[in-house]
Amino acid sequence: MTNNTGRKRDVAASFSDATDGYLDGNILKHGADLEQLIDWCRDATCALDVATGAGHVAGSLADAGVSRVVASDLSPAMVQTATTEYRGLEGVAVDAERLPFPADRFDAVTCRFAAHHFPDPEAFLAEVERVLEPGGVFAFEDLCVPDDPELAADINRIERLRDSGHVETYSRAQWLDWLAATDLTVETVHETSRELEVDAWLDRMAVPEGDRQRIRSLLSDAPADLAEAFEFQYEGDGDRLASYRTGVVLLHATG
């Protein structure tokens, strides 16, 4: 952790305080997106799940018959949660941008809903490319923003208030540009969206009451184009935001 060391330490600490929310949150535990990632890795024998959180991807890989699954995360408490919850996983606390594995070690690498925390996404992709054997599968999912830079900046500002470890959510085009600069070959890209219930979204990061109020008032005052782009839904006919939809990019590349 030579770069961004302080920031990464803070991220690890904030996620270590949020293990329960990530373990129990149904939004991460199940879903067609998770099934898609696992299906892309169906022939794998030795997989690495980067930024495993509570281990939902790693556990699903093991359940699908991948014989060796390494669940890795910056937060030791998350690794502990994942390896306790799902049997048969190897756990390791490591930084996604500095993976302590030799070249060509894995035939699948997965990473779901975490890269918006990485200060240097290109360093992460370079590490994926290095540890993935030729022909191996990289199955990736993260939040994504519209191409409009103002909308992207607005939503990232709100995300950072909710989670100080949020670095940036990027657009699908940005991920494809970065991948084009690697030797990984993108085979499939889907852009979807998912509904985030605001209370549950705040609960997952255990956001304190004062910050919840600030985020809620920012959301209430959000510009109309932001509310429209992210499909804000209000409770009843009031102005309390119940949910919004965020973009999601899902892709599969080969080494």
Ligand X SMILES: C[S@@+](CC[C@H](N)C(=O)[O-])C[C@H]1O[C@@H](n2cnc3c(N)ncnc32)[C@H](O)[C@@H]1O
Tell me which residues touch ligand X (CB under 6 A): 8, 11-12, 15, 22, 28, 51-54, 56-57, 73-75, 78, 95-97, 112-114, 117-118
Residue closer to ligand X, measured from CB, 143 or 222 = 143
Q: Tell me how far, at minimum, the Cβ of 18 lies from ligand X, in Å.
A: 8
Q: How far is the CB of 237 from ligand X (least distance, A)?
A: 33
- Total H helices, total E strands in the chain: 12, 8
Residue 56 C-beta: closest distance to ligand X, Å: 4
> Smaller CB distance to ligand X: residue 97 or 159?
97
Decide whether 25 or 146 has the Cβ nearer to ligand X. 25
> What is the nearest approach in angstroms of ligand X to the Cβ of residue 181?
20
250 Cβ contact list (under 8 Å, min separation 6): 33, 36, 37, 140, 141, 189, 190, 191, 192
Contact, 138 vs 57, CB < 8 A?
no
The C-alpha atoms of residue 136 and residue 43 are separated, in whole angstroms, by 9
* CB 161 within 8 Å of CB 211: yes
3-state secondary structure of 173: helix
CB of 215 to ligand X, least distance (A): 17
Write down the H helix ranges in 64-208: 76-85, 121-131, 149-162, 172-180, 198-204
Q: Residue 215 — left, alpha, or beta (φ > 0 → left; ψ -120 to 50 → alpha)?
A: alpha
Q: How far is the CB of 254 from ligand X (least distance, A)?
A: 21
> Which CB atom, from 95 or from 154, has the smaller least distance to ligand X?
95
CB closer to ligand X out of 48 and 57:
57
Structure tokens that stand for 193 in this block:
């969206």
User: 118 or 170: whose CB is closer to ligand X?
Assistant: 118
Structure tokens at 92: 């390791």
Closest residue to ligand X using C-beta atoms: 53
